[in-house]
Amino acid sequence: MSSVRQVNIAIIGAGGVGKCFLSQLVALAQRRPSPKLVLCYISTSKKAVFSDDYSAIGIDNALSALASSSQTPLALSNLVTYLAASGSKTVLVDNTSSTDIADAYPSFLKSGISIVTPNKKAFSGSYKLWQDIFGASAQSGARVFHESSVGAGLPVISTLKDLVETGDEVTKIEGVFSGTMSFLFNSFAPTSGSGGKWSAEVKKAKELGYTEPDPRDDLNGLDVARKLTILARLAGLEVESPTAFPVQSLIPKELESVSSGDEFLEKLPEFDSQMEETKVTAEKEGKVVRFVGSIDVAAKQVKVGLEKFDRSHPIAALKGSDNIISFYTKRYGSNPLIIQGAGAGGEVTAMGVTSDLLKVLAQLS
Amino acid sequence: MSSVRQVNIAIIGAGGVGKCFLSQLVALAQRRPSPKLVLCYISTSKKAVFSDDYSAIGIDNALSALASSSQTPLALSNLVTYLAASGSKTVLVDNTSSTDIADAYPSFLKSGISIVTPNKKAFSGSYKLWQDIFGASAQSGARVFHESSVGAGLPVISTLKDLVETGDEVTKIEGVFSGTMSFLFNSFAPTSGSGGKWSAEVKKAKELGYTEPDPRDDLNGLDVARKLTILARLAGLEVESPTAFPVQSLIPKELESVSSGDEFLEKLPEFDSQMEETKVTAEKEGKVVRFVGSIDVAAKQVKVGLEKFDRSHPIAALKGSDNIISFYTKRYGSNPLIIQGAGAGGEVTAMGVTSDLLKVLAQLS
């Protein structure tokens, strides 16, 4: 096999995931001298570091170089041109959740630049963007991997791809796809004991850093809907967008338009009776309520919302903020293939990105 | 990226897994026209089909070609020579559990022939063979993948490799690694209800086809010890062999040397009290007994045997003949990354082999 000596890396984003990825990249470059990884571009939304000879940045001091840089990020079209002209195999690592960058993936891929990313936007946007991305990849041979777009570092996307590509028939996918929702419901409706009031659990989750700054960004269900869109498409369904199927929002109608997350939290207790009723109804059946996503592949039905589960069901027995994903397939029969564990957090999300990078490197060399 | 037009495939073994793999290969070749997959050799222990022009065998009628063939298998050293001279990239698919073939892996790999296999022998034999295999692979660039050697098609090995290669620190691996043992203990000591007598459960498992022809080949724990050896080595421990750590055999001493599996089953009821006592002791603590393997990476301790678990523990709650594997790591913290599902059976084992083949194809092209 021919051996690639050098691979250029361009990184966009240096937030929570970006910082963890950088430290994993430093360790990776130390452990694996070949191919040589050259950081040729790094940017945040405001700053960037790059140079005409593509080699100005030491991976281990990239953050300080960024901090002291006076360069601004290249426009995305210029970034494509800059990277395509480097003369080396190049991988773009998009550690943002930017829609603009996602929209530019087809341009990068057409120019032979491979992409690894945890960014859900590209794969859960319009179906046309999805087709453009994988069409451009097939045409140029540039790779695109996005393991961390669902379940962070858990091997969810690679497993689903393996099932599909080896010819198994995936009949149903079901699970808890949000660490926030997992934490909320494991506390609110535990399998033993009674749990707290809904509004108190939301408040606690926010204080512990398990929610977005405005908890409504978790409670609207859109994050889960985006993940379901990605999995449904990988399973062969042409889902048009994450709003093309039923998604239950846990935001009371009356609080949808209050001005801030704080005001939302303040008024949420007035609506506790709704969630309490849902919990009690489930309890009377010996069940617990959970916020799940499911894909019925044969019926082409995707949905996100509250469901009741027996206390002994693996989805009910989940702990902390863990995700669980069950794949029901023809080969696996009545007992699904289950993957479970932390589905959020900087380190595990970055791990998915790093392992995707390793896959690209193995395929480039 | 350069594109490989043709990849030669050589298959050894056409038993349960081999037949399932062949049918998956037929479907794969139909779905993916490129690279062209050419079956240039197929053999059982007694027969073979191959030709000087490497292209005599249609994948879809390989079994009938085998049945009507008068050729005998090439000696392994001759097979290496035959495959190395083909002029195309070549993948050997070893669907046997043969130690002789495993011992020849370094020769194949040195000659640039990649290997995919569910055969545990190569990776759980002597540590020297392990080193020879991966040394030969590193030297020639030929790939070697063996996902199905642990947990069949479940993504166990790929996940452990991802954890290690991205720099996570695996602290402990624990699980139920045998479909037979899973079935036996889920029936013998269920989380609710009382289960049957031990000897009756073993008899039932054999009648249902869940055990080897002689159930002692499951009950001696060696199959689990082999899988633990593979995982421990991937986690960085230099385990010398599957007999280099404590493995609890469930065969009563007195029945170790009886002449047949049938005689074993006939006399097993005399020893039911031992297992019954183990079960009752666990029950008194509110627990159930399970046959598990565990690797404590920091303490460099590997062991296989009976352990007690709370009824709510995921290992206790396992169903049917499912496997469960928990990875405890620094990044994942107190809640492990868990993979669960069928860990035996022709179709799911072949699936692991087919997905390994797809990985090799992606890296060759």
Contact B282, B289 (CB under 8 A): yes
Q: What is the CATH number of the domain that holds A17?
A: 3.40.50.720
Within-domain flag for B325? yes
Domain match, A284 and A359 both: no
Say if residue A35 is preceded by a cis peptide, omega within 30 of 0.
yes
- Residue identified by tokens 């929570």 is A16
Gyration radius from chain A CA atoms: 22
- Flag whether pLDDT at B209 surpasses 90: no
Known catalytic residue at B227: yes
User: Nearest CA to CA, how far is B258 from chain A (Å)?
Assistant: 36
Do B158 and A154 make contact, defined as CB atoms within 8 angstroms? no
Would you state the pLDDT for residue A209?
87
Nearest to A348 among B165, B314, B332 (CB): B332
Number of domains in chain B: 2
pLDDT tens digits, one per residue of A180-214? 999 999 999 999 888 999 999 999 999 988 898 89
Domain match, B356 and B314 both: no
pLDDT tens digits, one per residue of A137-177? 999 999 999 999 999 999 999 999 999 999 999 999 999 99
A168 touching B (Cβ < 8 Å): yes
Q: What average pLDDT does the structure give for chain A?
A: 95
Domain match, B118 and B223 both: no
pLDDT tens digits, one per residue of A308-322? 999 989 999 999 999
Within-domain flag for B292? yes
**Chain B: residue nearest A168 by CA?**
B351
- Flag whether pLDDT at B5 surpasses 90: no
Domain match, A23 and A138 both: yes
**The CA-based dihedral angle spanning residues A64, A67, A72, A74, taken in that order and rounded to the nearest 10 degrees:** 40
Domain match, B39 and B139 both: yes
Domain match, B188 and B279 both: yes
Number of A to B CB contacts under 8 A, please give it: 130
Token code pair at residue B76: 């392994």
- Flag whether pLDDT at B181 surpasses 60: yes
Give bridge partners of residue A294 from the DSSP assignment. Answer: A174, A303
Domain match, A224 and A326 both: yes
List, in order, residues 6 or more apart from B138 with CB less than 8 Å away.
none
Within-domain flag for B41? yes
Mean pLDDT, rounded, for B101-124: 98
User: Nearest CA to CA, how far is B314 from chain A (Å)?
Assistant: 8
Go through B6-33 and write b for each residue having 16 or more CB atoms within 10 A of its CB, e for each that does not. Answer: bbbbbbbbbeebbbbbbbbbbebbeeee
Domain match, A246 and A318 both: yes
Q: Chain A neighbours among B 250-289 (CB < 8 Å)? A: none
Do A340 and B338 make contact, defined as CB atoms within 8 angstroms? yes
pLDDT tens digits, one per residue of B126-160? 999 999 999 999 999 999 999 999 999 999 999 99
Which of left, alpha, beta for A112 (phi over 0: left; psi -120 to 50: alpha)? left
Do A317 and B314 make contact, defined as CB atoms within 8 angstroms? yes
Do B340 and A338 make contact, defined as CB atoms within 8 angstroms? yes
Query: Which residues of chain B make contact with A155, given a CB cutoff of 8 A?
Result: 155, 158-159, 162, 339
End-to-end CA distance of chain A: 8
Domain match, B145 and B164 both: no
Domain match, A330 and A182 both: yes
**The CA-based dihedral angle spanning residues B200, B202, B203, B206, taken in that order and rounded to the nearest 10 degrees:** 160
Which of left, alpha, beta for B341 (phi over 0: left; psi -120 to 50: alpha)? left
Q: What is the CATH number of the domain that holds A277?
A: 3.30.360.10
Within-domain flag for A250? yes
Domain match, B351 and B339 both: no
B86 touching A (Cβ < 8 Å): no
Angle at A347 between CA B166 and CA A54, to 5 degrees: 65
Within-domain flag for B1? no
Domain match, A120 and A196 both: no
Amino acid identity for residue A9 in this structure: I
Do A342 and B362 make contact, defined as CB atoms within 8 angstroms? no
A160 touching B (Cβ < 8 Å): no
User: Nearest CA to CA, how far is A170 from chain B (Å)?
Assistant: 13
* Domain interval for residue A45: 6-152+347-364
Would you state the pLDDT for residue B303?
98
User: Nearest CA to CA, how far is B360 from chain A (Å)?
Assistant: 9
A320 touching B (Cβ < 8 Å): yes
Q: Interhelix angle for A346-364 vs B157-165, to 10°?
A: 100
Query: Which residues of chain A make contact with B364, given a CB cutoff of 8 A?
Result: 1
Q: d(Cα A258, Cα B355) in Å, to the nearest integer?
A: 50
ipTM of model? 0.96
Would you state the pLDDT for residue B353?
98
Do A337 and B340 make contact, defined as CB atoms within 8 angstroms? yes
Query: Which residues of chain A make contact with B34, given a CB cutoff of 8 A?
Result: none
Q: d(Cα B303, Cα B281) in Å, to the nearest integer?
A: 21
Interface test with B, best of A93, A162, A183, A309 (most B CBs within 10 A): A162
Give the start-end residues of each E strand in chain B.
Answer: 6-12, 36-43, 48-50, 89-94, 114-116, 144-145, 170-176, 287-296, 301-310, 322-329, 337-342
pLDDT tens digits, one per residue of B100-112? 999 999 999 999 9
Within-domain flag for A1? no
Within-domain flag for B119? yes
- The pLDDT-based confidence of B3 (bands split at 50, 70, 90) is low
Query: Which residues of chain A make contact with B337, given a CB cutoff of 8 A?
Result: 153-154, 339-342
A155 touching B (Cβ < 8 Å): yes
